[in-house]
Amino acid sequence: MASSTDIINALRLINTSGVGAVGYYHLLSEHGSEQAALDALAAIGRTSWSIERAEQEMELCATQGIKILLYTDPEYPSVLKNITDYPPVLYVKGNPQALNLSRNIAIVGSRAASSNGCRIAARIAEELAQEQIGIISGMARGIDSAAHCGALTAQGGLTVAVLGTGVDVIYPSENQNLYEQIAEHGCVVSEFPLGTSGISANFPRRNRIIAGLSQGVLVVEAGLKSGSLITADYAIRQGKMLFAVPGTPDVSRSSGSNFLIKKGALLADCAADILSALKELPSQSFMQNSQAQQKVLVFANNDVKFSKNEKKNNIDSPLAEFLTVDGVDIDELIRLTGQNPSAVAAQILELELEGIIHRISGNKIALIK
């Protein structure tokens, strides 16, 4: 069990400017402890949370019945540690044991879902929950909410909502009752500090957690630029099974789901399809069979990839290939370039000084238009 000092140091480090999950673990490896990393960052002028700010966060959590789980905590979901950028800190409202079920399936899809799509998501979620499979989703409008409701309908059904806001911020606000039911019959989790509002940049980040907590991801009704396809991409990168419900070809909200099936996702229109695949087809063999076709799916921003011989906007930097005006997460830059966080940070600083990029919310950097 993490001590108060451990929690304070972790909160301070992860809330240091320019430090994401990947950078956090690199700093820990380099300096040996959170406190040593904080001292090193302070020496070069990095701004971190104060001890008082971290203590205030802990007090607020205690008064609201919110638990802070560190990556070292026995209750921290072990399956999440299989991804490279698992959050050092998780805020949990409800029962943390819901994060450690032996089998979890994520169900995601369009916010502007059809009534039929919502019925399918709810039915599959209920059927899976009846088989003691936890349902993971993001509590968004449409498919996410339907999946949570379906799981709650099952006797003893457990469901987990991963938020792109602080765990104390109910978004969308009309899901107040759903939020309370999920917290009672499962849990609500977030990596973001209390009070964090619904910033658009945070939702793609939370999608890696949705996929990371699950054995597989089911996509129900998603357009080609849907955030659900970002979750699907995370699932592929993490070696998880990927399922999709087919839809009418000429309906835009089904185009993403149909695209995934074409690229190797397993077609699923009932829980039995998923249960059969989980039992008979190991996720590793599935990914080896399909990953070559699905290296890059569809992202929400306007990413444009260049060859190694080209310089994007005449920027002479290894980062140039991956920079966009919409922004890219610093942890993702570290992963894509294969460089260590210190090298990436130095290049970011140089590009900032040249007036080429600027920092935006969600630990992202973006090209200046």
Residues 130, 223 within the same domain: yes
Identify whether residues 217 and 271 lie together within a single domain. yes
CATH number, domain containing residue 348: 1.10.10.10
Please check whether residue 156 lies inside any domain of the structure: yes
Asked if 107 and 210 sit in the same domain, the reply is yes
- Range of the structural domain that residue 212 is part of: 96-293
CATH number for the domain including 230?
3.40.50.450
Identify whether residues 283 and 349 lie together within a single domain: no
- Give the Cα separation of 279 and 295 in Å (integer): 25
| Direct distance between the N- and C-terminal alpha carbons of the chain, in angstroms, rounded to an integer | 47
SS3 track for 288-308: HHHHHHCCCCCCCCCCCCCCC
What number of other Cβ atoms are within 10 A of residue 343's Cβ? 14
Q: Is residue 350 part of a domain?
A: yes
Number of H helices, E strands in the chain: 14, 12
CA distance 91 to 110: 26
pLDDT tens-place values along the chain, 369 residues long:
789 999 999 999 999 988 999 999 999 999 999 999 999 999 988 999 999 999 999 999 999 999 999 999 999 999 999 998 999 999 999 999 999 998 999 999 999 999 999 999 999 999 999 999 999 999 999 999 999 999 999 999 999 999 999 999 999 999 999 999 999 999 999 999 999 998 888 888 899 999 999 999 999 999 888 889 999 999 998 989 999 999 988 888 889 999 999 989 999 999 999 999 988 644 443 333 333 333 334 333 333 233 333 344 557 777 887 888 878 888 878 877 777 776 777 788 678 767 788 888 667 888 886
Strand extents, DSSP E, 83-196: 89-94, 104-109, 134-137, 159-162, 186-190
Q: How distant is the alpha carbon of residue 19 from its chain centre?
A: 17
Overall number of domains in the chain: 3
Of 63, 86, 111, the residue at which a domain comes to its end is 63
- Other CB atoms within a 10 A radius of the CB of residue 115 amount to 8
Residues 235, 145 share a domain: yes
Question: Do the domain assignments include residue 26?
Answer: yes
- 217, 346: one domain: no
Co-location of 9 and 126 in the same domain: no
Is the residue at 356 inside a domain?
A: yes
> Do 285 and 316 reside in the same domain of the chain?
no
- Helix orientation angle between 227-237 and 202-212, rounded to the nearest 10 degrees: 40
Predicted local confidence at residue 59, as pLDDT: 98
For the segment 153-195, what is each residue's pLDDT rounded down to a tens digit? 999 999 999 999 999 999 999 999 999 999 999 999 999 999 9
